[in-house]
Amino acid sequence: MSSRPVIWLLLAGVIALAGSMHARSTDAVAGDSASARVDAESRVAAAAPARHARREALPPAHVETTVSVNVGRGATFQLHATNTGDRHVELHFATGQTHDFVVLDSIGREVWRWGAGRMFTSSLQTKMLGAHATTVFEESWDARAKHGRFTVVARLESSDFPAEERAEFVLP
């Protein structure tokens, strides 16, 4: 015996049941009873200011960034992102790239970029940062053949807390 007719009958029953439940809930909200409408409207109106007040009571989230450089056989860069608030924040990233470091020479020409030639996922990602917590992004530049004055530009690639910091350093 084929199970197709049974499946079609079950599907029709589910659709009919869903339609009747929707009709009943619509009738209850939009019925002729003025007291039911007034009661529903007053509950919604009473809840709206409370939700609105809770949103206003929360302080705005803020993330501060700093960059540090450690010079040795090259240079190591650290980008610190600190949540200065009392509640957690989510850092949203449009791709797999969370940060980047760019090194500029003394006249502003780009001599190195950490993200150059790298492949990053194209999926969204989120990084949770707790209240007063710091996350550190660290990368190294092998600059043994380079000498002189440089500037590192550190970027937090977050879509909601984008930041850019600069620091000068010298390679002997």
- Looking at residue 8, its amino acid is W
- 10, pLDDT greater than 90: no
Q: What is the pLDDT of residues 56-115, one digit of tens each?
A: 556 677 899 999 999 988 899 999 999 999 999 999 999 999 999 999 999 999 999 999
Cα-only R_g, the chain: 29
Dist. CA 120–CA 151, nearest whole Å: 25
Instruction: Give the residue-averaged pLDDT of 111-135.
Output: 92
Task: Evaluate if pTM is beyond 0.75.
Answer: no
